[in-house]
Each structure stands twice: as C-alpha cells, then as structure tokens.
Amino acid sequence: MQNIKNIVLDYGNVIFSIDFQRAQQAFSQLGVQNVEDVFAHKQQNEIFDQFDKGLISPAQFREGIRKIANAPHLSDADIDQAWNALLIGVPAGKHEVLTQLKSKYRLFLLSNNNEIHYAYCMQHIQEKYGVESNTVFFEKTYYSHEMGMRKPDRDIFDYVLHDAQINPEETLFIDDSPQHLATAKSLRIHTALCTTEEPLEKIVADWQL
C-alpha cells in the first residue's frame, strides 16, 4: 500500500457513532419545520456552521434554534437534549484500534464539533471508558469550534498540514463525508470513506495499516 506515515481521523461515525435522523426527529418535535433543509449530513442552516466554527456561543445557538422553531418558550435543556440526540456513543473496540494505530503512525483527529457536542462526547468516554479526553489517543486533536474553521473548507486542511508538519502524500484521511474527502483529495491526501459497510476496522485491514 502507499507509503503512509500519518493518519488523520474524523470523529463522528468514524469513532463516535452518530445518527442525523435522531436529531432531525428531535428538532421536529421542538417545532422545526422542513427539518431536512435545516439540518442534515450534507447541508445545514448557517447557524450550525457558525456554531461548529465557534463563532457563536451556546447561548446564541440556543436562541437561534428558538427562532427557527418559532418557539421562544423552549428551555436550554430542551434544545441541548434535541441537539445531542444524534450522539450515540463510541462502540466497544474503537479505542483499541486508535491505540494500535498510534503505535505505528502519527495519528491526528480532525472533527467538526461544537461546545455542546464536545462536552457530551467527553462525558461519554469518561463515564463509559474512564478516558478523560481524546488527547490520549492522538498526537494532536483539531476541533473546528476551537479553530474558527470547519470541513470541507480548504483552510482547515491547510492549517492541519502546516501545523502538524505532515506531507499530504504520506497522509491518509478517513472521514464519513464525501465532500470532506473531496477537499482532502484536492490537496493530494490519500482518503478512505468510512461507512456502515466499510467501518474503521475494515479500512485498517484493507489498507494493511
């Protein structure tokens, strides 16, 4: 296989299982109309992009959801519960794969995330696995809400390549979103699409990592 020295992993549906339909159903129950046009895997309302980039606070995000739902009575807890509905958890065995990869490659995490989801995810791995944060598995973690950038925009990939000092032609990027992989490919990064049929474990085996 290619001369891979670096691996960059997405988080959602590569390591941490998520289900966008669960969030869509939860937002519909809050009163959001045409929810597929507001929030989906391939497209979403600008407020979600802004939150992913850390450009608005959790309070501003929640207020935006109240306006979209036309439901000013919604509590912070109502909104957080709906927003976190898509987060399922880390399946058993995923952390062991990360430990295996880290022993052989420079391993990085590149995730579109936000303050509310990040807090939930870290609480989950602490409570279920006794892991304080993802930093134990990676040389460095890159979260969109801490960077002011998000995938699939090129600037976040340029930043990671420069900051980590990695050669794109020696790097494999694994993500569940084709639009994110397309940007990586344009930068000469090797890519692998993670799906239900082609999970991380199978990609590791197929690439002989």
Which one, of 30, 18, 22, 117, lies nearest residue 79 by Cα? 30
Domains defined for the chain, CATH in brackets: 6-16+91-206 (3.40.50.1000), 20-86 (1.10.150.240)
pLDDT digits (tens, 9 = 90+) for 128-165: 999 999 999 999 999 999 999 999 999 999 999 999 99
Mean pLDDT, rounded, for 162-173: 98
Which one, of 195, 139, 190, 191, lies nearest residue 167 by Cα? 190
Given a cut of 60, whether residue 1 has pLDDT beyond it is no
Mean pLDDT, rounded, for 47-60: 96
Per-residue pLDDT band at 33 (split at 50, 70, 90): confident
Other CB atoms within 10 Å distance of the CB of residue 73: 8
pTM over 0.85: yes
Per-residue pLDDT band at 34 (split at 50, 70, 90): confident
Mean pLDDT, rounded, for 170-189: 97
Per-residue pLDDT band at 103 (split at 50, 70, 90): very high
Per-residue pLDDT band at 88 (split at 50, 70, 90): very high
Given a cut of 70, whether residue 197 has pLDDT beyond it is yes
Other CB atoms within 10 Å distance of the CB of residue 129: 13
**pLDDT number for residue 40:** 60
Per-residue pLDDT band at 30 (split at 50, 70, 90): confident
State the Cα–Cα distance between residues 163 and 110, nearest whole angstrom.
12
State the Cα–Cα distance between residues 86 and 18, nearest whole angstrom.
5
DSSP-assigned states of every residue in 27-50: HHHHT-SSHHHHB-SS-B-HHHHH
State the Cα–Cα distance between residues 83 and 65, nearest whole angstrom.
10
